[in-house]
């Protein structure tokens, strides 16, 4: 059972991918949802300031942070990656559970959004970058994908982040998350 943080953003897209993989999931919208049994959590794309603010306002911040720190398998895409990063350039970190440094809107505004195909764990997959952030430093963890030398996917123990949106085009990264982190 995977919990999908559903405070704001493209969370339903993750549910569709999991549905197709016959993996059960539920939406996390409030504190009581965090008490449900889950084997992993997905932090979706959206606006990181919005999601971060709602985590605080709905008293979900500390409980979620504790779960991730205690080893809950966690997968963040785009805004989700910003939420997990310990260091945010020109900004305040949110959950700060992962030893990476990240830069918001690193490719500029919407005109800088782009689509490409590149290698993730030895497989060429489609990658949509929407006002994407950039991982500027990996203090600890493994780089899983780069695009033109830009770091776009990192795994550190129980945590996986991508700066692109695999949920829009492919189930490959979800399968990777389920196989290598959730069912480890």
Partner 1 sequence: MEDRVELNRNLAQMLKGGVIMDVTTPEQAKIAQNAGACAVMALERIPADIRAAGGVSRMSDPLMIKEIQNAVTIPVMAKVRIGHITEARILEAIEIDYIDESEVLSPADDVYHIDKTKYSVPFVCGAKDLGEALRRIVEGASMIRTKGEPGTGDVVQAVRHMRAIMAEIRRLTSMSKDELYNAAKLMQVPYNLVVNVAQNGKLPVVNFAAGGVATPADAALMMELGAEGVFVGSGIFKSGNPEQRAAAIVKAVTNYKDYNILANVSEGLGEAMVGINENEIQLIMSERGK
Q: Which residues are catalytic?
A: 78, 165, 167
Q: At closest approach, how far in Å is the CB of 28 from partner 1?
A: 11
Q: Which of 2, 4, 7, 18 is close enough to bind partner 1 by CB under 8 A? A: 7
Query: From residue 107 to residue 136, what is the string marking binding to partner 1 with x (rule CB under 8 A)?
Result: -xxxx-xxx------------x-xx-----
Q: Which residue has the tokens 């782009």?
A: 114
Q: Are 70 and 40 in contact (CB under 8 A)?
A: no
Identify residues 143-182 at the interface with partner 1 (CB under 8 A).
Answer: 165, 168
Q: At closest approach, how far in Å is the CB of 55 from partner 1?
A: 10
Q: Which of 12, 21, 62, 143 is close enough to bind partner 1 by CB under 8 A? A: 12
Q: At closest approach, how far in Å is the CB of 173 from partner 1?
A: 16
Q: b/e for 157-170, b at 16 or more Cβ within 10 A?
A: bbbbbbbbbbbbbb
Kindly write down the DSSP assignment for every residue of 3-65, as one continuous string: EEE-SSSS-HHHHHHHHHTT--EEEE-SGGGGGS--SEEEE-SS-HHHHHHHHHHTT-HHHHH
* Nearest residue (CB) to partner 1, 13 versus 118: 13
| The pair of three-digit structure tokens given for residue 25, joined into one six-digit string | 């999931």
| The pair of three-digit structure tokens given for residue 148, joined into one six-digit string | 């033109």
Site for partner 1 contains 49 (CB under 8 A)? yes
Dist CA 25 CA 47 (whole Å): 22
Residues that bind partner 1 in the complex, under the rule CB under 8 A: 6-13, 29-30, 45-47, 49-50, 53-54, 57-58, 78-79, 91, 104-105, 108-111, 113-115, 128, 130-131, 165, 168
């Amino acid at each position: 059972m995977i919990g999908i943080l559903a405070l704001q953003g493209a969370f339903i897209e993750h549910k569709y991918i999991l549905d197709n993989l016959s993996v059960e999931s539920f939406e996390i919208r409030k504190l009581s949802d965090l008490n449900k049994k889950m084997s992993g959590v997905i932090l979706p794309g959206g606006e990181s300031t919005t999601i971060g603010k709602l985590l605080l306002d709905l008293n979900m911040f500390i409980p979620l942070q504790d779960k991730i720190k205690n080893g809950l398998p966690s997968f963040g895409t785009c805004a989700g990656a910003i939420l997990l990063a310990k260091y945010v350039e020109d900004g305040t970190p949110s959950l700060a559970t992962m030893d990476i440094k990240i830069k918001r809107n690193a490719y500029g505004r919407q005109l800088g959004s782009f689509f490409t195909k590149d290698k993730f764990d030895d497989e060429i997959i489609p990658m949509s970058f929407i006002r994407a952030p950039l991982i500027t430093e990996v203090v600890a963890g493994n780089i899983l994908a780069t695009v033109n030398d830009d770091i776009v996917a990192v795994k550190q123990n129980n945590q996986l982040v991508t700066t692109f949106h695999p949920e829009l085009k492919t189930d490959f990264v979800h399968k990777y998350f389920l196989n290598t982190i959730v069912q480890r």
